[in-house]
Amino acid sequence: MKKLLKSLGPVSAIIGAQWGDEGKGKATDILSEHYDVIARACGGANAGHTIVIDGKKHIFHLLPSGCMHEGKTVVIGAGLVLHLPTLLEEIQTLKTHGIEVLNRLFISPEAHILFDFHKEIDGVMERMREEKRGQGIGTTKRGIGPAYMDKAARIGIRMEQLGCDLTGELTQRRDQVKNMYGIDIDVKLEIDNLRRAASLLQNRIVDTIDLLHELLEEGKTLLVEGAQATLLDIDHGTYPFVTSSSTTAAGALQGLGIAPKMLTSCIGVAKAYCTRVGSGPFLTEMQGELAERIRKRGGEYGATTGRPRRCGWLHLPDLIRTARINGYTHWNITKLDVLDSEEQICVGTGKRSSAEAEYAVLPGWQESTVGLTKFSALPKNAQKYIEFIEEQTGIPAALIGTGQAREQMIIRS
Ligand code: GDP
Ligand code: IMO
Ligand code: MG
């Protein structure tokens, strides 16, 4: 770990390389122990980041997954859209596990508030897309698109306004929203939610740009937990089947107000295969029994919505492209163990734009890798598979996941 930390340097970002759910939460949890400050930079409660400690599962939606480590400074940056009841619930759940996060939590005044009515609009817009295009995006219905729409339209309400009386503003919005989407905003409920949040969070709102830069100047280290993933990026993803935020390393830095030159490393997180929830192209998607087997072995059901995830093979051209976009310095290849029983491992190699996938076929290892923590202990064919990914992408696999639990990770220098 020491050597790895040295190569990561003081400011590192963990960024998904596929369509999300690669295991960013687990990597964040493991590395957080060694960083002073842990930050979420963008997205909202569409994220579901799972960590497993002592057999117990914890799912984070808004707080960074590093929160379980007591004493770490936790930052929520400007790029997020915050559903406040969800945030309060997460803080409360941690408290019931004996973990106090409030006194070390700092929230950007520039982060936007995501209201319950944004979630309702999300649902209506999905129905409209289904009717008009015959297919929705398959959003998480967490109100993400509508909240970022308000932000881009410059009518959003930000955390700096928490504590102000927003009755007038929300009443005005009620009429607009009713006209456009046929939805009744429950102004009283929204105001109650704001009041509840203000009483707990108002004194946690600070200029997080000043805070982060001062901490970095003092020599503190920062770990940035990306949310969603590069193929879901609003610009570079499989548009329109994407989320509404910038999910890349650049997006994360923007979301926190940190200059690109300050980032010392970027860990690309990719499953040893690939999954996607929601609609959109998936060239290497598996079908039938194979898909079922991988879904079952990998527990591929959404951490936020419980939806079954679509499963497929790794696609090298996508990995290479996401590596370019993010400047990955290290890979965390996750869920290697899920492929343990496969006779053959396919890897998509063709052009990104081709209509049909082309594959390189590698021999499987058909031995358990579950819980292994040393690369040399992996079956030879598993080692070869990892080395194949490294050679093709030119990026070392510094972390390799061999199970859900915190300690089930191979860490290489
Ligand atoms: P995230 O959104 O990127 O943080 O990922 P999710 O938490 O949504 O989904 C990843 C799932 O895979 C979670 O259930 C993790 O517990 C699990 N997971 C992570 N790494 C591994 C691994 O190496 N092996 C196995 N079997 N499961 C893993
Ligand atoms: P984490 O951080 C997987 C997907 C949704 C949908 C599309 C748009 O856990 O990896 P949205 O609700 O954002 O408008 O949905 O993006 N999506 C995710 N898929 N993991 C996520 O987050 C996701 N966040 C959004 O399924 O296809
Ligand atoms: Mg997830």
Q: What is the mean pLDDT of the chain?
A: 97
pTM: 0.97
Kindly state whether residues 189 and 315 are assigned to the same domain. Answer: no
Kindly state whether residues 276 and 166 are assigned to the same domain. Answer: no
338 is a domain residue: yes
The secondary element (H helix, E strand) that includes residue 361 is strand 359-363
Per the listing, tokens 């939606």 go with 61
Classify 397 in phi/psi space as left (phi over 0), alpha (psi -120 to 50) or beta.
beta
pLDDT tens per residue across span 18-58: 999 999 999 999 999 999 999 999 999 999 999 999 999 99
352 pLDDT higher than 80 = no
Q: What is the CATH number of the domain that holds 341?
A: 3.90.170.10
**Catalytic residue set:** 21, 49
Q: Burial of 124 by CB count in 10 Å (0-12 exposed, 13-18 middle, 19+ buried)?
A: middle
39 is a domain residue: no
DSSP H helix total and E strand total for the chain: 12, 17
Kindly state whether residues 288 and 190 are assigned to the same domain. Answer: no
Q: Place 287 in a pLDDT band, splitting at 50, 70 and 90.
A: very high
SS3 284: coil
Kindly state whether residues 277 and 412 are assigned to the same domain. Answer: yes
369 is a domain residue: yes
**Which of 238, 277, 335 best tests ligand 2's pocket when mutated (most atoms within 8 Å of CB)?**
277
Pocket of ligand 2 (CB under 6 A): 16, 19-21, 46-49, 137-140, 142, 144-145, 227-229, 232, 243-244, 277-278, 303
pLDDT tens per residue across span 90-116: 999 999 999 999 999 999 999 999 999
Domain-terminating residue out of 148, 177, 203: 203
307 is a domain residue: yes
Contacts of 58 (CB under 8 A, 6+ apart): 50, 51, 52, 68, 97
Cα-Cα-Cα-Cα torsion 285, 288, 294, 298, nearest 10 degrees, comes to 90
Number of domains present in the structure of the chain: 2
Of all ligands present, the nearest one to the C-alpha of 25 is: 1
Domain residues for the domain of 319 are 272-413
Phi first, then psi, for residue 404 (nearest 5°) are -75, -30
Q: Give the rounded percent of residues in the chain with a pLDDT score beyond 70.
A: 100
299 is a domain residue: yes
In 33-135, which residue ranges form alpha helices assigned H by DSSP? 84-96, 116-133
Q: Which atom of ligand 2 is nearest to the CA of 226?
A: 2
